[in-house]
Amino acid sequence: MDTPSPILGARLREARSRTGLDQQAASTALEVDRVNLSYWENGRRTPGLAHLQRLAEVYGTTVDYLLGNTDHFEQTDHHEALYQHLTGTEKQAKKALKTWLTFLDGWAELREEADGELPGRGQSFVPEGRVAEPVTDSRRAPTLAVRTRELCQLGTDAIPDLMAFLDSKDILVCRKDMGRSSDVSGMFYNHPRLGFCILVNSAHQPGRQQFTMAHEMAHALFHHQEKGLISRASVKDRREKFADTFAAHFLVPTDALRQAVQRCEPLTPGVPLDPYDVVRLQREFRVSYAMLLLRLYSEAFIDQATFDRYRQYSPKGLAERLNVNTLEFQYRPDCPPELTTYSPSIIDTVIRYLHEGRLSVPSAASLLDVPQEVISALLRQYDQAHADEMQEYDQLPSPDQINPRFSRSHPAGKSAARKSHAVN
């Protein structure tokens, strides 16, 4: 494709216009110079095949349309935007992706039938992310990670359950086995009806999964202009580098890490941090040993020689010597293991639909791709948990026992007390 094509230039302008992107925003998404994009659009230069495929991907159409081989603007299927990132050899990842996308579409249909119109594509709740072009400057990532924590009122403490936190922010998380040795760690998809959705490789270590969730969260908040993204360990473009940096600072804020390090008492004279300290800090921040070690190194709490030496240690062996469990990332222990791969809101909604008769046990099992016995067990556990919760009200002291001034300080105190007495 050496000869400039006026048809190609016109199609590029039209396709970009359909996406609502200006040249600067489009060049950022494409990771090309704006001048080059301008040359392609006015026919002075012709993009290579790799750039042409990327143009079609970002603009949501096909290469054939851009080349003028068809006059019909062929909008690519939103699933295809993700599939095209996978190679033919990644069968397990493709299977997981297919299962996930099928579930999301089925879930969207069920939600619409039961609860009406859905919110549509997701929008960032961080003001700095509500812009036309993706944020890809890694130098801004640490500040934006702190900003996100502030907006969510998280302080600097470790997040006990990141999956539940993301769910509270309307970011649906699912976990599927994409292969322990797979290069794919996770995927982000801005679903046209459900909004932000994240898929995490459940075959990876729990600490790695935490990092992947935070990484994909960065894509959702700052790269939502894309239809979907697949994160690989081997691919480090500007978006991936930004997401990596954001995740590291979101999970382990610098100020909190500094304070935690200062609390560590050196066991060996002249050695501020030993490998056991790393395990303790890992447990405190609920991240992997490797992640914590990397943060210590990146903030100059340890030097490169120490980093290289400590990375040779077995975190499991260190933890056993300390008699602690570093894999405290179990999600909803009262939930059947087969269902811990879904966000809490999905499980809660399925339970509600089951009780309302909108969903049967067989259809719920089919939707979540689990045996019917798992759904039956879920219902039994939910009913028991609900009964236990109700019983707790009888076991707790009354408000006036907790606060003697309750009836005087609370406008509804006296009437509430009378109402409670009448019921009893």
CATH code for position 377 = 1.10.10
Q: Are 53 and 12 in contact (CB under 8 A)?
A: no
Residue 385: predicted pLDDT: 66
Residue 402: predicted pLDDT: 37
SS3 track for the chain? CCCCCHHHHHHHHHHHHHHCCCHHHHHHHHCCCHHHHHHHHCCCCCCCHHHHHHHHHHHCCCHHHHHCCCCCCCCCCCCHHHHCCCCCCCHHHHHHHHHHHHHHHHHHHHHHHHHCCCCCCCCCCCHHHCCCCCCCCHHHHHHHHHHHHHHCCCCCCCCCCHHHHHHHCCCEEEEECCCCCCCEEEEEEEECCCEEEEEEECCCCHHHHHHHHHHHHHHHHHCCCCCEEEEECCCCCHHHHHHHHHHHHHHCCHHHHHHHHHHCCCCECCECCCHHHHHHHHHHHCCCHHHHHHHHHHCCCCCHHHHHHHCCCCHHHHHHHHCCCCCCCCCCCCCCHHHCCECHHHHHHHHHHHHHCCCCHHHHHHHHCCCHHHHHHHHHHHHHHHHHHHHHHHHCCCHHHHCCCHHHHCCCHHHHHHHHHHHC
Residues 219 and 94 in one domain: yes
Residue 261: predicted pLDDT: 92
Taking the chain (424 residues) in runs of 10, the rounded mean pLDDT of each run is: 72 74 74 90 88 80 83 60 66 88 92 91 94 90 95 90 94 92 88 94 85 95 88 81 92 93 73 84 86 87 88 77 57 67 88 92 94 92 65 45 40 36 31
In a domain, 257, yes or no: no
Q: Are 198 and 213 in contact (CB under 8 A)?
A: yes
Residue 228: predicted pLDDT: 82
In a domain, 259, yes or no: no
Residues 296 and 341 in one domain: no
Residue 286: predicted pLDDT: 85
Residues 174 and 233 in one domain: yes
Given 67, 101, 118, the domain boundary residue is 67
In a domain, 46, yes or no: yes
In a domain, 314, yes or no: yes
In a domain, 328, yes or no: no
pTM of the full structure: 0.69
Q: Which two tokens stand for residue 147?
A: 């900003």
Residues 25 and 53 in one domain: yes
CA distance 288 to 243: 17
CA-to-CA separations, 355 to 350, 352, 367, in angstroms, rounded: 9, 5, 16
For the chain, what is the domain count? 4
Q: Are 68 and 5 in contact (CB under 8 A)?
A: yes
In a domain, 173, yes or no: yes
CA-to-CA separations, 154 to 116, 253, 256, in angstroms, rounded: 32, 11, 12
Q: Residue 181 is part of which domain span? A: 84-251
In a domain, 295, yes or no: yes
Residues 216 and 308 in one domain: no
CA distance 350 to 364: 7
Residues 298 and 245 in one domain: no
Q: Indicate which CATH number applies to the domain containing 48.
A: 1.10.260.40
Residue 409: predicted pLDDT: 39
Residues 218 and 108 in one domain: yes
Residues 100 and 241 in one domain: yes
Q: Are 177 and 204 in contact (CB under 8 A)?
A: no
Residues 238 and 93 in one domain: yes
Residues 311 and 239 in one domain: no
Residues 208 and 96 in one domain: yes
Residue 401: predicted pLDDT: 39
In a domain, 398, yes or no: no
In terms of DSSP bridges, do strands 195-201 and 172-176 run parallel, antiparallel, or are they unpaired? parallel
Closest to 27 measured CA to CA, from 127, 144, 136, 190: 136
Residues 178 and 152 in one domain: yes
Given 38, 67, 96, the domain boundary residue is 67
